[in-house]
Structure 1
Amino acid sequence: MATPEHRPDLRASDADREAVANQLRTASEDGRLDVDELDDRLAKVYAAKTYGELEPLTADLAPDPPPPPSALANWRVRWGSWAATSVLLVGIWAIVSVTSGDLTFFWPIFPIGFWALGNIAAMISGDDGTQSERSEGHT
């Protein structure tokens, strides 16, 4: 599909105009446009016939922020770090057991187990780790 920067002479659809209007409304809500400027730009949006007429109306606005990381990605990181640390701890335990010539007490069960319980508790409570990231960005 052609985009405004590649083919500014192509005619814009109603959906294209509405997308630009929504971007302008969001910019106004964020305080990047005042009411008069929003009204002026919206009038130009709905009068625009081509992508080339739409592009300058949002050129000075920051692009939309990237979407927050998905809950699944956060859980992969959470359980992945748990698994990597678990392997490391079991490796340390194995080296100590081999070098001592006797199987020592399996102490890694405590950090591995408590960390897993914390992850499970977070899953049950619905805490996917995204809330703290969202609140950190809005101070």
Structure 2
Amino acid sequence: MNWTPAGMLGSMGREGMRAGDADRQQVADQLKKALDEGRLDLGEYDERIQRAYGARTFADFDGLLDDLPGTVPVQKSQIQPAPPAPGAPVSAAAEAHGRRSGVQPAIGLFLLCTVIWGISSLASGEAYYFWPAWVLIPVAFAVLARLGDRDKRRH
């Protein structure tokens, strides 16, 4: 029998070879995808993910993915994605088309802070440092980003 490392690998099948971090992560990603698709419940996912991260050899991965079908792109799937529920969060793309990305809420926050500053200044009888001006910094960034997006769309 050949006891050199090459000889040992030649006689050892893939099942006996040590698994690496990238191998464990790949199996974990596939399990996460199955959980997101509703193919695994949370308890089953938890059990399998623990086994995946604890795997020392490729044989330890056996049974973790065997009963899960391969992923099919949504465009080729027979199942249509469900429409978003009323009141569900809006995606970033839809938000960019639908309303001003963050400018209006930031201005509202600035106005609220200004009212708080005004009430506290009136109550004390002296004008404090105008700290709400700091809230305008994100507003300025949001306006500049919006103007930059508008210029990109024109070109």
Q: Given the two structures, how large is their TM-score scaled by the length of structure 2?
A: 0.40
Higher relative contact order (CA 8 A, sep 6+): 1
Q: Given the two structures, how large is their TM-score scaled by the length of structure 1?
A: 0.44
| Bigger Rg, which one | 2
